[in-house]
Structure 1
Amino acid sequence: MPETLKFLILDGHSVIYAWEDLRKLHLKADKRYLAREELLKRMRTLQDMRGERVVVVFDGIGSVISDSREKDDVQVFYADAGHTADALIEQLAAKYAGTYAIRVCTADRMIWDGVRASGAHWISPDMLRFEVEQAEGEVAKKIGKRR
């Protein structure tokens, strides 16, 4: 029996605001993009170490929902101007939770119920930080062994 694909969908801005180092970067207008880049870097590490595909969703301003991803990289969605990242996250969870193992990371309590009702699981930004730190530690150990 093939293994079920696992996905972690996260509310990008919710995590940025929950993690102090990223929040400080984001609050500086000229450094805002650095907070997003650092979050994506950390999510790549988590994805590489855990084998769980990561999807990061941000609020957007365009006229259509857009997504980007290099092969085997973290997938990034920007909601269109008429929708929020929250709505897009709920739609993704509702559409795919019956087919894949889905976890959703957000600090927004209003999303929790919708996500759980769809069959997806919720994790907090603090729990995600713990998982990322574990993955980063594993990478450091692997690098240390190779030297």
Structure 2
Amino acid sequence: MELAKIEDLLEKYFQGETSIAEENELRNYFSSSNVAPHLEQYKPIFECFSLAKGRQFTPEISLPPRPRDKKRTVAWISIAASVVVLLGIGTYVYYSTDVVNKNEDLGTYDDPQEAFRATQKALSLLSNNVNVGIESVLYIQEYQTTKDKIFINTSKHPGGL
């Protein structure tokens, strides 16, 4: 009868339905010397539980860093970030002023004769480009007069040519 009860308790144990008293009864049975041969395979499980019950757990607690260390770390990170920002600003200013200095040469001349020749050259270039534009306008005017002639002729002859 006891063997059938142990088998039923084992079934309940593996389904997670046993009480603490029933688990103690299983632990006592498997720690005894008269375990049924077909249940010998479960003996190491309950022996392990018995050994684990006797152990005392002593956790090791790691302490968080001291607040002073945390403040020091934040201070160094702040200093490093400030240095990076200042280097970035300095690099930007250095290269932007270099570009401005290159663009300051706006074609000023010390010799009046040289300035006069440069001005004549610029005005000649402008004149040539304006003349090209005027030639294009002349083509448009020629087109307009031809169009006017054609439409005037067709308006006189309503039936067409």
For Structure 1 versus Structure 2, the TM-score category normalised by the shorter chain is under 0.3
TM-score (norm 1): 0.17
Greater fraction of residues in strand: 1
Q: TM-score, normalised by structure 2?
A: 0.16
Which structure's residues are more often helix, by fraction? 2
